[in-house]
Chain A
């Protein structure tokens, strides 16, 4: 079965401040099957958001893209304006990181929600109205009529993000792109919003590409997880297989660095060294500068993804990693979600 969203050897270059181009995404390949939730995890600047922007064709001006992105077999970079608009309007929904910035401040919530549905053109005004109020209640917004007439600044960040979720779902898309949907929110509202996204996604059988820097969070809502570092995907695994013996050193570092409730530590573990950007990566492995197990080969040759049980890992020395003691799997402590 072919994937709903298929990213194949995606490479994105952005114009640098002075001259020339800088690579920000390096040969990224990733599939999302229909109805499946995939987490894309990485630090700030690892290229995870840029990947979603490439999928949505929202790259900044002057960006150069190579490789292929297919949705249901259709090339997204190859779409003409009309087809692109149609696709964006009907088959994909996007939830952005900061709802306060991503919703037009001078238009009402109602304007925002109706704009999406009416563009679709398949619904009458009253049908649209019904669908919107249904969705508003589904995302946990009570007094729908009052909210529709309010402006974004009158709503809290959590409420606004619920509005954004509702807006993304109004056109009944097949794929949901969630770009750090909770990063801009308070910790307490974060969990609620995640729960809403997770529940609505499951109910509707939506596929989702979930972007986050939080490995636990990704493992809680996604079946499969891709870990990104400096513009490359270093590992792709089933969520419950993450951190097992065959994991990439970077993933292991991330897992070891998690603080745990109830466990006192003298000092939080960190990954040595400075996170680098994609354009700083030379010929070798992106993680070579920080990897505790680095060898000469890592600095000279970029590792190709290798099949391991449950996924793929891009590391030359998976066998050596094997010998190391396995860290606990992700999700074991986060089962409360």
Chain B
């Protein structure tokens, strides 16, 4: 919650930090006419003290009213709402890919340390350095223009078509995060495999599969869940790149466009929404962690 509060002040306050008149900034362009400036002042209540105008903006934001975009000349919330679905779909798709592939690879690397472990560790080290936009270029070159399996640009319409269109973006977005989740999973699982209570389970003749499921994975789920959550939260920021790279008309692309045009009303609104999503996901993860770990639950209750 603190994060969200501080974030909102930073996001809104940013335009006041820069030398010069925020109104000029908001209007954009090199030669603002006085009428436009006055209109902007009225709309953003720039003549009021900072805290007053901030609180007015924030209370509007809480109600879903982010004002009107000066570039698009339509309410910011409408602009966001019309693109939200695509972005949410993209994030969800990428998140599923990340969790399945990342956790799967991580567990495999830890369980078969000799054979798979080395290969997966090397692969993930390289994958960690692969930015979304580079993977986007490679995926497009190979799977879209090369093999022709997937469309190059756009988001499609209808659910199946959308998912088909979003496959390459989701994998490009997921790519380096898969490696990250896999490495954390591997470390967590390896720690558990070496833990003493797993020795006990072996000594009691518990079958390997059961040990993996009941003792190793169950106990390693805490750190795995934490990074997965962190990752999903990070995906919201990553959509800016993925959508831009694949020409998808989502929130992220809108953010980039607006930043380039210095359409502050939209940038502020989207940043706040993305940070809120980030914070909410992290809170959910903390909550899940508390439910998973009886020790944490005990501490929280006390």
Q: Touching in the complex, A and B, CB below 8 A?
A: yes
Interface hits, A95-111 → B, CB 8 Å: 96, 98, 101-107
Docked CA distance A56–B199 (Å): 10
Indicate which residue in B199, B203, B219 contacts A105 across the interface (CB closer than 8 Å).
B219
Identify the stretch in A20-28, A81-89, A303-311 within 8 Å (CB) of chain B at 4 or more residues. A81-89
Judge whether A86 and B197 touch: CB under 8 Å: no
Q: Which residues on B sit within 8 Å (CB–CB) of A89?
A: 204-206
**CB-based nearest A residue for B113:** A61
A107-B218, A151-B294, A154-B298 known; A102 vs B207 contact (CB < 8 Å): no
CB contacts under 8 Å to B, within A192-224, are none
Contact-size category for A: 20 to 34
Asked if residues A94 and B203 are in contact (CB atoms below 8 Å), the reply is yes
- Cβ-neighbour of B196 out of A85, A96, A106, A167 (below 8 A): A96
In this complex, what residue of B is CB-closest to A82? B207
- Whether the Cβ atoms of A87 and B205 lie closer than 8 Å is yes
Greatest chain A CB density within 10 A among B197, B204, B206 is at B204
Bound Cα distance from A271 to B260, whole angstroms: 79
Question: Are the C-beta atoms of A116 and B293 separated by less than 8 Å?
Answer: no
* A283 at the B interface (CB under 8 A): no
Q: Would you call B112 an interface residue if the criterion is a C-beta within 8 Å of the partner chain's C-beta atoms?
A: no
Chain B residues contacting A167 (CB-CB under 8 Å) are: 204
Q: Mark A237-255, 1 if CB is under 8 A from B, else 0.
A: 0000000000000000000
A153 touches B298 (CB 8 A): yes
If the complex has contacts A101-B196, A102-B197, are A115 and B204 also in contact, measured as CB distance less than 8 A?
A: yes
Residue numbers in B under 8 Å from A257 (CB-CB): none
Q: Is B292 an interface residue (CB 8 A)?
A: yes
A90 at the interface (CB under 8 A from B): yes
A101 and B197 contacting across the interface, CB-CB below 8 Å: yes
Check: B200 CB closer than 8 A to any chain A CB: yes
A58 sits at the interface (CB 8 A): yes
CB distance from B129 to the nearest CB of A (A): 30
Determine which of A88, A105, A151 lies in contact with B204 in the assembled complex, contact meaning CB atoms within 8 Å. Answer: A88
Give the residue name and chain of the B residue nearest to A104 (CB). B197
Are B199 and A106 touching (Cβ within 8 A)? no
A116 touches B202 (CB 8 A): no
- Tell me how far the C-beta of A326 lies from the nearest C-beta in chain B, rounded to whole angstroms: 40
- Chain A neighbourhood of B73, CB < 8 A: none
Residues of A with C-beta under 8 A to B202: 56, 58, 88
Proximity string of chain A (173-205) to chain B, C-beta cutoff 8 Å, 1 when within and 0 when not: 000000000000000000000000000000000
CA distance A88 to B196 in the complex (A): 16
Considering only CB atoms, which chain B residue lies closest to A92 in the complex?
B203
On whether the beta carbons of A101 and B204 are closer than 8 Å, the reply is no
Q: Does B295 contact A (CB under 8 A)?
A: yes
Q: Does B162 contact A (CB under 8 A)?
A: no
Min CB distance, B170 to chain A, in Å?
Answer: 32
Q: Which residues of the partner chain A approach B207 to less than 8 Å between Cβ atoms? A: 85, 119
CB atoms of A119 and B298 under 8 A apart:
no
| Interface of chain A residues 56 through 102 with chain B (CB within 8 A) | 56, 58, 84-90, 94, 96, 98, 101-102
Chain B residues near A86: list those with CB within 8 A: 205
Evaluate whether A101 and B195 lie within 8 angstroms (CB atoms) in the complex, with A106-B294, A154-B298 already known: yes
Task: Tell me the bound Cα distance from A115 to B206 in angstroms.
Answer: 8
B215 is an interface residue with CB less than 8 A from chain A: yes
Chain B 202-232, CB-CB to A under 8 Å as 1, else 0, gives 1111110000001100110000000000000
Interchain CB contact (< 8 A) of A96 among B200, B292, B293, B298: B200
Contact present for B205 and A106 (CB under 8 Å): no
Distance in angstroms from A99 CB to nearest chain B CB is 9
Q: In the bound complex, how far is the Cα of B293 from the Cα of A68, in angstroms?
A: 43
B295-A105 in contact (CB<8A): yes
Nearest B residue (CB) for A108 = B294
Interface string of B268-302 (1 = CB under 8 A from A): 00000000000000000000000011110010000
Contacts of B204 in A (CB 8 A): 88-89, 94, 115-116, 119, 167
State which residues 166-182 of B face A: CB under 8 Å: none
Residue on A nearest B218 in the bound complex, by CB? A106
- Chain A nearest CB, measured from B194 CB (Å): 9
Known: A115-B204, A167-B204. A153 touches B196 (CB 8 A): no
Give the residue name and chain of the A residue nearest to B207 (CB): A85
Shortest Cβ distance from B293 into A: residue: A106
CB-CB < 8 A to A151: which residues of B? 294-295, 298
In the bound complex, how far is the Cα of B203 from the Cα of A84, in angstroms?
A: 10
Compute how far the CA of A104 lies from the CA of B200 in the bound complex, rounded to whole angstroms. Answer: 9
Residue numbers in B under 8 Å from A56 (CB-CB): 202-203
Question: Nearest Cβ distance between residue A309 and chain B, in whole angstroms?
Answer: 37
A85 lies within 8 A of B205 (CB): yes
Q: Which residues of B contact A154 (CB under 8 A)?
A: 298
Nearest A residue to B199, CB-CB: A58
Bound complex: CA of A98 vs CA of B298, how far in Å?
22
**In whole angstroms, what is the CA distance A85 to B203 when docked?**
8
A selection of 28 A-B contacts at a CB cut-off of 8 Å is A56-B203, A58-B199, A58-B202, A85-B205, A85-B207, A87-B205, A88-B203, A88-B204, A89-B205, A89-B206, A94-B204, A96-B200, A101-B196, A102-B199, A102-B200, A104-B197, A104-B201, A104-B218, A105-B219, A106-B294, A107-B218, A115-B204, A115-B206, A115-B214, A116-B204, A153-B298, A154-B298, A167-B204
A residues adjacent to B (C-beta < 8 A): 56, 58, 84-90, 94, 96, 98, 101-107, 115-116, 119, 151, 153-154, 167
Which 7 pairs, one residue from A and one from B, show the smallest C-beta to C-beta distance? A89-B205, A88-B205, A101-B196, A151-B294, A104-B197, A85-B205, A102-B200
Contacts A104-B214, A115-B214, A119-B206 supplied; 16 other A-B pairs, CB < 8 Å: A56-B202, A85-B205, A88-B202, A89-B204, A89-B205, A89-B206, A96-B196, A101-B195, A102-B199, A105-B197, A105-B219, A105-B295, A106-B292, A115-B204, A119-B204, A151-B298
